[in-house]
A and B are shown apart, each in its own frame.
Chain A
Amino acid sequence: MVATHLSKVRRSILPHAGDSWATIAGRELSGLSEQEAVAKLQSWNLHVFMRAPAPAESPRAGNPILPSDVIFVEPPLAKA
């Protein structure tokens, strides 16, 4: 097998169990205030943030993040 270099792509993570915007912000963007970090995460992840809310009686009500979601932790890369 030939080991090759992978070019840089937009950095993302998969959520940990029970993750919310705040816990991801604390882990991935620790240099920012929670409010600022959460706002950035939400703006970079509209596919999650804009998701239709779960029903009120659902255990995941109030948290749109799914265990399988890709969460970007940086903005889109500038075009080369």
Chain B
Amino acid sequence: MYDLIIRNGTVVDGTGLPAYAADVAVSGNRIARIGRIAERADREIDAAGKVVSPGFIDPHTHFDAQLLWDGCAKPALSHGVTTIVPGNCSLSLAPLKASQRMKLVGMFNQIEEMPLKAFKEGVVWDWETFAEYIARIRKGLAINVAPLVGHSVLRLWVMDGAAMERTASDAEIAEMQSVLRECLDAGAVGLSTSYVDMDETLQPVPSRFADAREIDALASVLSEYGRILQIVPEFYDPDLTIARLDQLAEISLKHGIATTFSPVFVNADNTDAVERVMARVDEQFARGARVWPQVQTRPIDISFCFSVPSLLFFRFPGWYRLMRFGTPEEIVAAFSDPERRAKLIAEAKPYQALWPRLILRQAATEANRKLVGKTLGEIAETRGTSPIEAMIDLSLEENLEAHFLATSMGHNDDARVGGLLKHPRVHIGASDGGAHILSFSTYGDTGYLFGHFVRELKTMRLEDAVKKITSDTAAIWGIPDRGLLQVGYVADIAIFDPQTVDRDVERYQWDVPGDGSRYVRDPIGVDTVIVGGGIAWSAANGYQEARGDVLPGARNTGPFREAAE
């Protein structure tokens, strides 16, 4: 007698081998049998016409805070994602001393655009160590979590304020090694660091004050555990990215660990950048280094309003400083003052191609609601003004709550992105799930992969796409017993319709603590998501069982499986 049988489905097992018709039986939290199954089970799911695959693994997320109030990491789970990796980019929520909490909140707010109010009203701070944080998020966990330790946080723990001023002493490095061991013993999957990020005062984050010997010492600890190092390189510059991946390669070779860097974007302004980076990746892999580049599936769309800072304005220092440090009243005053307004417009003017194509996506007043969906170019024409002036005027009329959408800001060359996604050494990831919640939806990248690159463009076989986001990811990250539909593996399973699977349109949702909102996308074509043998979500009944786990969990000394190429 099995606990669950999924009948009549098409099994895409995560190996990349061709799909086949079979039933899948689950006993406890494990896959017990695959084939034609005559026995009955307590629960049965009819998957006729649907694909039954391993659950998807998202290796680049920032769900650290959301997991404190939402053990499902909604809506990621409903898209078929059964394992998430939070703690990327040098930022995790542990280990963290009580005195350092607000510093970390400031960094999360600046770097990942997580609202301050969500931290203040959604988080009960009752942990300091990594083990305590793990114990905290385990309660009600419906999705699996493979958490990274953030290097900036580790430095803060050991060095406090000096973490943002200088290199570490030998004694401090030894203490960081010791704390990292404690985190890995508690279940961390690896360490993350960043070479680009800035804190809330626009000064470099602590990880950027580490010298090479500190990174080397921490990598030696990762080596003891066979765990991964994730970095954010200076991705805007191919020469810098190549220098970083060479640095990573030496670490990988010396310590025998896997490394990954993210993001890698296809950029129309720098057309040969990706090819140069990938050529270097190939050379380093040929030497034996494991330097996995992460590439996201979706194009870059950015929404913004002037009541919160937006990464769209990084390239306009005057605008960005006003949004970052100004109160709403100060922003309104600046927009209303002819002299300051003229200065802002002058700074923005060189980017003439951008402003007319911005779309007004949300307005509260009756008068402007009829303009929703129109471009600023169209609105400016009817108002007899310029697109930038129209953007400012609309923002004033809407009390800074006019929302604008910039579409196709990059990574939207299907041929080149598709070529990258199917490259055997490209690791599909970099969703940033749970971050930038007021700039874009970070959910549904897997649906976009299947709907756009598999079904619409036929860039990849379905079996290859599934392999990329299941067994390859599990192998790269050293997550045992997940990522394949095979007897004995943990039953993390996604059931979806290959004819319809996709991401839905982006929408605004008010479900963030502190009366906060975010952009989300719902799944299309996903039928059921199973985690640890339990039905975690179904299209029919929504969120259900909470059988998520922390991966890889306690220290794993088992063999490290490589991704097959």
Q: Which residues of A contact B210 (CB under 8 A)?
A: 67-68
Contact mask for chain A residues 63-80; partner B; CB cutoff 8 A; 1 contact, 0 none: 000111110100010010
Which A residue's beta carbon lies closest to that of B284?
A: A6
Contact mask for chain A residues 34-58; partner B; CB cutoff 8 A; 1 contact, 0 none: 0000000000000100001011001
Q: Which residues of A contact B201 (CB under 8 A)?
A: 55
Q: Which residues of A contact B280 (CB under 8 A)?
A: 7, 9
Which B residue's beta carbon lies closest to that of A14?
A: B212
Q: Contact: B167 with A6, CB < 8 Å?
A: no
Contact mask for chain B residues 269-293; partner A; CB cutoff 8 A; 1 contact, 0 none: 0001000000110011011100000
Any A CB within 8 A of the CB of B357: no
Q: Contact: A47 with B240, CB < 8 Å?
A: yes
* Size category, A interface: 20 to 34
Q: Which residues of A contact B247 (CB under 8 A)?
A: 14, 70
Partner of A9, one of B211, B234, B239: B239
Contact mask for chain A residues 1-38; partner B; CB cutoff 8 A; 1 contact, 0 none: 11111110110101101000000000000000000000
Distance of A79 Cα from B167 Cα, bound (Å): 36
Q: Which residues of B contact A2 (CB under 8 A)?
A: 286-288
Q: Which residues of A contact B272 (CB under 8 A)?
A: 79
Least distance between B441 CB and chain A CB atoms (Å): 30
Least distance between B205 CB and chain A CB atoms (Å): 10
Q: Contact: B208 with A9, CB < 8 Å?
A: no
Asked, given contacts A47-B240, A58-B165, whether A68 binds B208 with beta carbons under 8 Å apart, the answer is: yes
Q: Which residues of A contact B234 (CB under 8 A)?
A: 47, 70
Q: Contact: A70 with B167, CB < 8 Å?
A: no
Q: Which residues of A contact B122 (CB under 8 A)?
A: none
Q: Which residues of B contact A1 (CB under 8 A)?
A: 287-288
Any A CB within 8 A of the CB of B200: no
Q: Which residues of B contact A52 (CB under 8 A)?
A: 202-203
Q: Contact: A59 with B165, CB < 8 Å?
A: yes
Least distance between A70 CB and chain B CB atoms (Å): 4
| Most chain B CB atoms below 10 A, which of A58, A68, A76 | A68
Any A CB within 8 A of the CB of B225: no
Least distance between B230 CB and chain A CB atoms (Å): 15
Q: Which residues of B contact A4 (CB under 8 A)?
A: 283, 286-287
Q: Which residues of A contact B166 (CB under 8 A)?
A: 59-60, 67
Which B residue's beta carbon lies closest to that of A3?
A: B287
Partner of B239, one of A17, A60, A76: A76
Distance of A67 Cα from B166 Cα, bound (Å): 8
Least distance between B218 CB and chain A CB atoms (Å): 13
Any A CB within 8 A of the CB of B401: no
Distance of A19 Cα from B277 Cα, bound (Å): 28
Q: Which residues of A contact B284 (CB under 8 A)?
A: 6
Contact mask for chain B residues 114-158; partner A; CB cutoff 8 A; 1 contact, 0 none: 000000000000000000000000000000000000000000000
Q: Contact: A68 with B243, CB < 8 Å?
A: no
Q: Which residues of B contact A9 (CB under 8 A)?
A: 239, 242-243, 246, 280
Which B residue's beta carbon lies closest to that of A53?
A: B203
Distance of A78 Cα from B548 Cα, bound (Å): 52
Q: Contact: B209 with A66, CB < 8 Å?
A: yes
Partner of A68, one of B211, B242, B279, B283: B211
Any A CB within 8 A of the CB of B306: no
Q: Which residues of B contact A47 (CB under 8 A)?
A: 234, 237, 240
Q: Contact: B203 with A10, CB < 8 Å?
A: no
Any A CB within 8 A of the CB of B513: no
Which A residue's beta carbon lies closest to that of B282?
A: A4
Q: Contact: B165 with A7, CB < 8 Å?
A: no
Q: Contact: A70 with B240, CB < 8 Å?
A: yes
Q: Contact: B202 with A14, CB < 8 Å?
A: no
Distance of A67 Cα from B212 Cα, bound (Å): 8
Q: Which residues of A contact B211 (CB under 8 A)?
A: 14-15, 17, 67-68
Q: Which residues of B contact A66 (CB under 8 A)?
A: 204, 208-209
Which A residue's beta carbon lies closest to that of B317?
A: A52
Least distance between B90 CB and chain A CB atoms (Å): 11
Asked, given contacts A3-B287, A4-B287, A9-B246, whether A68 binds B195 with beta carbons under 8 Å apart, the answer is: yes
Distance of A67 Cα from B246 Cα, bound (Å): 17
Partner of B243, one of A12, A15, A59: A12
Distance of A38 Cα from B272 Cα, bound (Å): 29
Which A residue's beta carbon lies closest to that of B242?
A: A9
Q: Contact: B212 with A10, CB < 8 Å?
A: no
Which A residue's beta carbon lies closest to that of B210?
A: A68
Any A CB within 8 A of the CB of B296: no
Any A CB within 8 A of the CB of B207: yes
Distance of A30 Cα from B285 Cα, bound (Å): 35
Q: Contact: B203 with A54, CB < 8 Å?
A: yes
| Most chain A CB atoms below 10 A, which of B165, B201, B240 | B240
Which A residue's beta carbon lies closest to that of B194?
A: A68
Q: Which residues of A contact B181 (CB under 8 A)?
A: none
Q: Contact: B243 with A10, CB < 8 Å?
A: yes
Q: Contact: B286 with A17, CB < 8 Å?
A: no
Distance of A64 Cα from B525 Cα, bound (Å): 51
Contact mask for chain B residues 3-27; partner A; CB cutoff 8 A; 1 contact, 0 none: 0000000000000000000000000
Any A CB within 8 A of the CB of B361: no
Distance of A12 Cα from B284 Cα, bound (Å): 17
Q: Can you name 4 extra interface pairs (CB under 8 A) apart from A2-B287, A5-B283, A7-B280?
A: A10-B239, A60-B165, A67-B166, A70-B244
A-B contact pairs, 19 of them (CB 8 A): A2-B286, A3-B287, A5-B283, A6-B246, A6-B283, A6-B284, A7-B280, A10-B243, A14-B247, A47-B234, A52-B203, A66-B208, A66-B209, A67-B167, A67-B208, A68-B212, A68-B215, A70-B234, A72-B243
Closest 8 CB pairs of A and B: A67-B211, A4-B286, A1-B288, A70-B243, A12-B243, A10-B239, A67-B167, A68-B208
Could you tell me which A residues sit within 8 Å of B by CB distance?
A: 1-7, 9-10, 12, 14-15, 17, 47, 52, 54-55, 58-60, 66-70, 72, 76, 79
